[in-house]
């Protein structure tokens, strides 16, 4: 088991050699830790490097610090120690667990919110917002209010709001966990389609191993509190992926292997 490894970023045998270089790292996390004011260690010193264009998922039990790690990378939470670097000027977008829409704004105005805050011109906003809504299939709903949308559509709008920024880094904190399985699976496919067409780097936090394997080219497993990286799996399946992949033996085997690593991390 890789669970006993002392080096948090040491990769188990499943990891490929592709990530030895750091020249095109989109996210470089070095010895980042987080201790909360009450003394709780949320995250032990953690290092990892994510290449540009990768789709990396982080799985772990609740309270393992995976969201904390994502928030540190997003700049929302300061790290207690360590450094976190992203290339100069790379735009970041964050998608929360709930859609965090502003109920008094229409779909169109919600999709433009980040652009407004970032000071984009009106023409830019209109154009990017129309493109982003098109991308998530919400064209035609511009004048609706969020209360009229289903849970899945709200999350699509939340994605569109982030996509309108055309981010280089797309950070997602369990974005589909509140949705039913059918909606979640269709949004998984949408997200993969958008990711391959837009080419951003994705970091996706989830507690759903199957979702992580289906989406990612790499799955990082974290242990229960205090959180640390205990395994790093390559997902060898080629893109574009289709729902049939979920029914294959290789998919199940990899998911089982990751689940086992996850269990090892909990029982530690």
Partner 1 sequence: MSTHAAGALDTGAMGAVPPRRLVVRMRGWAASAWPPLIVFVLFIGVWYLISQTVYADEDYLLPSPFSVVSSGWENAGEIWSATKITLTEAAAGFASAIVIGMAAAVLMSQAKWLERSLYPYAVMLQTVPVVAVAPVIVLWFGYNQKSVIVISFMIAVFPIINNTLLGLLSADRNHVDLFRMHKAGRLAQFVKLRLPGALPNIFAGLRVSAGLSVIGAIVGEFIIGSGGSEGGLGVKVIFAQSKLDTDLLFAEVLAATALGFGFFVLVSYLGALLLRSWHESALGADS
Q: Tell me which residues touch partner 1 (CB under 8 A).
A: 74-76, 92, 94, 96, 98, 100, 102-104, 113-114, 116-118, 145-147
φ, ψ of residue 66 in degrees (nearest 5): -70, -40
Our separate counts of H helices and E strands in the chain read 8, 9
Q: Would you say 37 or 117 has its CB closer to partner 1?
A: 117
Name beta bridge partners: 202. 55, 170
Q: Would you say 73 or 194 has its CB closer to partner 1?
A: 73
Minimal distance in Å, beta carbon 2 to partner 1?
A: 33
Residue 74 tokens, joined = 């997003």
Minimal distance in Å, beta carbon 90 to partner 1?
A: 14
Q: Would you say 36 or 239 has its CB closer to partner 1?
A: 36
Q: What is the CA radius of gyration of the chain?
A: 18
Dihedral angle, C-alpha 231, 232, 236, 240, nearest 10 °: 120
Minimal distance in Å, beta carbon 38 to partner 1?
A: 18
Is residue 227 within 8 Å of residue 60, measured between CB atoms?
A: yes
Minimal distance in Å, beta carbon 147 to partner 1?
A: 6
Q: Would you say 109 or 246 has its CB closer to partner 1?
A: 109
| Secondary structure of 173-229 as H, E, C letters | ECCCCCCCHHHHHHHHHHHHHHHHHHCCEEEEEECCHHHHHHHCCEEEEECCCCECE
Q: Would you say 113 or 260 has its CB closer to partner 1?
A: 113
Q: Would you say 73 or 209 has its CB closer to partner 1?
A: 73
End-to-end CA distance of the chain: 11
Is residue 219 within 8 Å of residue 258, measured between CB atoms?
A: yes
Minimal distance in Å, beta carbon 75 to partner 1?
A: 6
Minimal distance in Å, beta carbon 13 to partner 1?
A: 37
At residue 139, the 3 state secondary structure works out as coil
């Amino acid at each position: 088991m890789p669970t006993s490894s002392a080096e948090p970023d040491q990769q188990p045998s499943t990891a490929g050699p592709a990530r030895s270089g750091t020249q095109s790292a989109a996210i470089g996390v070095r010895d980042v830790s987080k201790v909360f004011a009450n003394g709780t260690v949320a995250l032990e010193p953690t290092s990892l490097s994510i290449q540009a264009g990768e789709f990396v998922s982080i799985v772990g039990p609740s309270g393992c610090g995976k969201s904390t790690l994502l928030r540190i990378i997003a700049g929302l939470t300061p790290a207690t120690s360590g450094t976190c670097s992203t290339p100069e000027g790379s735009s970041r977008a964050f998608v929360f667990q709930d859609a965090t829409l502003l109920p008094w704004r229409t779909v169109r105005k919600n999709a433009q919110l980040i652009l407004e805050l970032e000071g984009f011109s009106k023409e830019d906003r209109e154009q990017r917002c129309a493109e982003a809504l098109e991308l998530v299939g919400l064209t035609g709903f511009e004048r609706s209010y969020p209360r009229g949308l289903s849970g899945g559509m709200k999350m699509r709008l939340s994605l569109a709001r982030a996509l309108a920024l055309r981010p280089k880094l797309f950070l997602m904190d369990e974005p589909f966990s509140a949705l039913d399985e059918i909606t979640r699976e269709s949004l998984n496919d949408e997200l993969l389609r958008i990711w391959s067409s837009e080419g951003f780097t994705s970091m996706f936090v989830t507690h759903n191993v199957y979702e992580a394997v289906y989406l990612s080219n790499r799955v990082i497993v974290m242990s229960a509190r205090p959180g640390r990286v205990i395994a790093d799996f390559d997902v060898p399946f080629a893109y574009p992926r289709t729902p049939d992949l979920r029914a294959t033996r290789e998919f199940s085997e990899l998911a089982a292997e990751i689940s086992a690593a996850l269990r090892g991390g909990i029982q530690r």
